[in-house]
Structure 1
C-alpha cells in the first residue's frame, strides 16, 4: 500500500484514477481548489497549487510515495511543484499530452512519413525552459498549450529532486457526458443532423485512448513500475477523421456528409493535415498492454449517443 497524492483528480479520468487507487487500498490525498470533493475516505486538501506558500502550509508535514499531477500546464506551475515536493516524494508522475509532438507548434526532428512518433522526439531533459513568458495570461496559455506542457515536463526532468515520469496521453474519448471537450459530440451532432463534417483532403491519422484505459495506465505508472522519462499512452490502431466518422455513422445509422478543405484550413476536430500518431512501444516494453481503438470506440460512441438523446428533466 502506497501513500499517493493526486493534484487535480476531480473529473473524468482523474476522478476515475482516484477511485481506482482507493479501491486498491492506497492512502490517497487529493489537492484541488475545492470545486468538487473526492470520494469519501480520500483526504482532501483545498488549496490553489499556484500559491506556493499556501501549498506548503496545506501539506504540513505530509510525505508521499508518489505524486500524480493531473493539472500541470506551465513551467511556472512545475517549478513551484518541484520545489514544494522535493523531499516529500520519491516519484512524480505528470499527465502530459500528444500535443507535445504537434509539428505546428515546435521545430521537431523530421521522421519518415507515417512513422509513429517515439518519446525521444521531444526530450524534456534538454528542452529549453522559459519561466519569464506570460504563462499567467489565460489567452497566452491557451495559444501555447503544447509548449506549456513541453516546458512543464522539462522543469521536472531537469530538477532531479525525485524520479520523474510523464504520461503523454493520446486524444481521450469515452464516458458520455464526462467527455467535456465536445470533440466526439461534434461528430455525433453533425452526422445525426445531416450536417457536413469538414475534413482535410488528405486527412492523416492520429491515436486515441479510452478514459478508463488512461486511468488504468496512470495507476500503473504510479504504483506498478519505476520507469522515468516520458511514455506514450495510446490504444493500438490509429484513425483518421473519416474512419472515426464511419464508426459514429455506423452507431447512428446515418451516412456522414463531408466537405474537403486544403491543408492548413480549419477543419473538424481530429482532422489533421500533419502526422503525429504516437508509438506506444515503450509502454508495451515496460509491461503495459493496450486495447485496440476499435474494441472500445463503438461503445464510447453509443454511450455518447445515448447521452445526447436522453430526455432532460
Structure 2
C-alpha cells in the first residue's frame, strides 16, 4: 500500500512508520522536519499543518490510506481531511479512550457514551481539552470520510521512544535504587498498549480495510502494579527496595502525574484500566508481555544516554525526591 503518515518521527508516529516499512509498504511522511524520518527510508515531505500552506507539499499525491496522530486543536484535522479527500482512500486516526464520557464504567467498550467535540475548535487560538480535541477530530473525519475511517482509540501508551515520561520516569527512579515509594495495592490491575502493538494493529487495520472505532488496550489484568514495578527493578539491575503504600497513605500525591501510570481504585482507575478491548482483540490486536515492553524501553533509554525526550506540550512527570523521602519516612 501507499501510506501517508502525518507526523511519523516521534513515539507512536515512529512506530507506525517502522511497522509499515517492515511490511513492505511505501511510506510518505509530512512533518516539520524536527527529527529524522526513519533514516531516509521514507519520502519525507515538510509542512506545518497549523500554518497557511502547511499541506501544500501533499498536492498531487495519492495514497491508499493516511494515518494521523494529531492530539491538539481539532481544526487542524478538520482542514486536513478536507484537503486530502479525493487523494486518500481511507483515514486512520490514532485517537484515545478519553473521548468517552466521564466516568467511563468498568467493562466499557466502543458503545460507551461519547463526550462532545467541535471540529472547528482551537481555530481562534483557544486551548481545547484533550478529550474534546480528539473527539472533535473524530467528528471531522466522520463528516468527510463517512465509513472509510478507523478511530484507533488507544488507552495508556508505553514502550520505546516514549516522549511523555511515564515508563521512563519509573525506570530512572528504580535504577537509582534505595527505598522506592510503590503505590498500591500490589494487585491493582493495569491496562496499557505498547506503541509497537498499537502500530501493528493500525497498519493491519489498513490492510484489512476495517472501519469504525476500536479500543486499543491490553485485556484487563494484563499486568498489575506489583508486577510492573518488580519487572522494572529487575530489568534495570536495581537494588531498589519497593516500599508499598496503600492509597489512603498517598492522598497528598497526584496520581498519574507524580506517580505515573498509577491511579488508585475508583472511577478514574476503572475508566483507564478496566475497559473491554474484545473488538480489537477479535481483529488481530496482540499485546506483547509486560517484560518485553519494560526491557525494550530500558534498552532504548540506555542507547540514548538514559535521558528520554520530552514533549514540549506535556508537563514533566514524576515525584520530587524530597517529597518521596517525606512520605517514606512516615510509612
Give TM-score, length-normalised by structure 1: 0.79
RMSD of aligned C-alpha atoms?
3.1
Match of 1:179 among 162, 171, 178: 162
| Aligned counterpart, 1:97 | 96
**Is the contact between residue 165 and residue 229 of structure 1 (CA under 8 Å) also seen in structure 2?**
yes
Whether 2:234 is the aligned partner of 1:250: answer yes
Any idea what SS the aligned residue of 2:40 has?
coil
Match of 2:277 among 273, 277, 280: 280
**Is the contact between residue 86 and residue 162 of structure 1 (CA under 8 Å) also seen in structure 2?**
no
**Is the contact between residue 71 and residue 130 of structure 2 (CA under 8 Å) also seen in structure 1?**
no
Match of 2:112 among 118, 121, 127: 121
Quote the Cα distance in structure 2 between the aligned partners of 1:23 and 1:249.
32
Change (3 A) 1:171 1:80: same
Change (3 A) 1:98 1:243: farther
Q: Once the two structures are superposed, what CA deviation does each residue of 1:106-129 show, in whole Å capped at 9, x if it has no partner?
A: 445x63xxx3331221458xx442
Q: Report how many aligned residue pairs link the two structures.
A: 291
Quote the Cα distance in structure 1 between the aligned partners of 2:113 and 2:164.
25
Deviation at 1:79, TM superposition (A): 0.9
Whether 2:216 is the aligned partner of 1:230: answer no
Q: Once the two structures are superposed, what CA deviation does each residue of 1:148-184 show, in whole Å capped at 9, x if it has no partner?
A: 1122112212334561111122322222xx2222211
Quote the Cα distance in structure 1 between the aligned partners of 2:18 and 2:297.
24
**Is the contact between residue 174 and residue 304 of structure 1 (CA under 8 Å) also seen in structure 2?**
no
Quote the Cα distance in structure 2 between the aligned partners of 1:99 and 1:62.
33
Quote the Cα distance in structure 1 between the aligned partners of 2:253 and 2:65.
43
Change (3 A) 1:48 1:281: same
Quote the Cα distance in structure 2 between the aligned partners of 1:203 and 1:99.
24
Q: Once the two structures are superposed, what CA deviation does each residue of 1:33-78 show, in whole Å capped at 9, x if it has no partner?
A: 11124232422210111235441x3222112110011224332112
Whether 2:285 is the aligned partner of 1:270: answer no
Deviation at 1:131, TM superposition (A): 2.7
Give TM-score, length-normalised by structure 2: 0.75
Q: Once the two structures are superposed, what CA deviation does each residue of 1:181-233 show, in whole Å capped at 9, x if it has no partner?
A: 221132223333335436367995331122322221221122x2222121122
Whether 2:151 is the aligned partner of 1:166: answer yes
Whether 2:113 is the aligned partner of 1:155: answer no
- State which drifts further: 77-86 or 207-216: 207-216
Match of 1:296 among 283, 292, 296: 292
**Is the contact between residue 6 and residue 69 of structure 2 (CA under 8 Å) also seen in structure 1?**
yes
Change (3 A) 1:59 1:190: closer
Change (3 A) 1:92 1:160: closer
**Is the contact between residue 218 and residue 287 of structure 2 (CA under 8 Å) also seen in structure 1?**
yes
Q: Any stretches of 5+ residues in structure 2 without a counterpart?
A: 308-331
- State which drifts further: 248-257 or 29-38: 248-257
| Aligned counterpart, 2:317 | none
Change (3 A) 1:10 1:282: same
**Is the contact between residue 118 and residue 132 of structure 2 (CA under 8 Å) also seen in structure 1?**
no
Quote the Cα distance in structure 1 between the aligned partners of 2:306 and 2:122.
45
Runs of 4+ deviating beyond 6 Å: 200-203, 308-311
